Amino acid sequence: MYESPCSSSPDPAPGAMTSLAPAMRIDRAILVIRGLRVMLDADLAGLYGVTTKRLNEQVKRNRDRFPADFMFQLTAGEKAEVVAHCDHLRRLRFSPVLPYAFTEHGAVMLASVLNSTVAVHTSIQIVRAFVRLREAVASHTALAGKLDELERKYDAQFKVVFEALRKLMAPPPSSKRIGFLVERDR
């Protein structure tokens, strides 16, 4: 399954970056696929300043450095879902190749395989982005625990407040359709 906070802001051309990658661009590139936080080969190639073809060539030459928990190839269905939800990946729509997804460890291993100054500096930024994401998840879990504790401590007079807070903490439903209904569609 796929989840992502992809935004629709325009993406620079792959290889256009020659300095450190902005944190927001890295954060946007982290997706959740098969329950793992990953980055796709196309995004990593752009961040590392190489083409996707070159990146994948280096991975194939160093296949023993990328076990299954570091990297996997998307299925056609996963690719279609990612392309549909992430505007910055629309260029993958007509590609016959299924992209590779790299976990945090796989993304760092790429830096050693690519062996460039840009790759090393970018891998540091990528690790920091994954750490920020882990901290956000941990703080959300801690907040939920504190809320449970407060709810047990206080009586029913605050029940409405606790229910409202839980609704605010819950992820928004993604199945709502946006738009207008024309009279003939009803």
pLDDT, tens digit (0-9, with 9 covering 90-100), for 126-176: 777 777 777 777 777 777 777 777 666 665 656 666 677 777 777 666 555
Task: Please list, residue by residue across 27-39, b when 16 or more beta carbons sit within 10 angstroms of its beta carbon and e when fewer do.
Answer: ebbbbebeeebbb
pTM value is: 0.59
Distance CA(23)–CA(29), nearest Å, equals: 10
The reported pLDDT for the residue numbered 12 is 42
Rg (CA), the chain: 20
Q: Name the β-bridge partners of 179.
A: none
Q: How far is CA 87 from CA 81, 105, 185, in A?
A: 11, 25, 29
What is the model's pLDDT at position 10?
40
Structure letter (DSSP) for residue 71: E
| Separation between Cα atoms, residue 25 and residue 7, nearest integer Å | 10
Task: Report pLDDT for 149.
Answer: 72
User: 180 Cβ partners below 8 Å, 6+ apart?
Assistant: none
Question: Which residues, in sequence order, are CB contacts of 30 under 8 Å at separation 6+?
Answer: 4, 37, 38, 39, 129, 130, 133
Which residues of the chain, if any, have pLDDT below 70?
Answer: 1-23, 150-162, 171-182, 184-186
- In the prediction, which pLDDT does 171 show? 67
